[in-house]
Amino acid sequence: MAYDDDNVFARILRGEIPCKKVYEDEQVLAFHDINPQAPTHVLVVPKGKYVSMDDFTAKASDAEIAGLFRAIGRIARDFGAEKTGYRILANSGAHAHQEVAHLHVHIFAGRPLGPMLVRR
């Protein structure tokens, strides 16, 4: 899938849409999800134009990949989430129900999060 410059996270990265920022560095921007599913629900977005985790892991530099994961750990610690535990999630593609086609990693924390997937 080609990257769409008008996706909502591209617009947030360009400052065209506001967000509640929690962290920013050279590689990533992180902000609160607009529709939180847990007391802490942060989205960590690489600044590069990557559609999905598949796209990112195929094309991003080692520095971008390290930067994303360092940022995730740092943000989780900033919220104290490492004390009681947290979940990270990156939906990639149709079966995972990815809604925004710019890679983002969810950080959920602040309550017991239940089973990983809906049980069938």
Positions that interact with ligand 5GP (CB under 6 A): 8, 17, 19, 31, 33-35, 91, 97-100
What is the nearest approach in angstroms of ligand 5GP to the Cβ of residue 108? 10
- The 3-state secondary structure of 50-118 reads CCCHHHHHHHCCHHHHHHHHHHHHHHHHHCCHHHHCEEEECCCCCCCCCCCCCCCEEEEECCCCCCCCC
Can you tell me the distance from the alpha carbon of 4 to that of 25, in angstroms, rounded to the nearest whole number? 23
**By the 8 A CB rule, do 90 and 45 touch?**
no
Active-site entry in 41, 95, 97, 104: 104
What is the nearest approach in angstroms of ligand 5GP to the Cβ of residue 96? 7
What is the nearest approach in angstroms of ligand 5GP to the Cβ of residue 31? 5
- DSSP letter (8 states) at residue 120: -
For ligand 5GP, the closer CB: 7 or 78 = 7
97 assigned to active site: no
Instruction: State the catalytic residues.
Output: 104
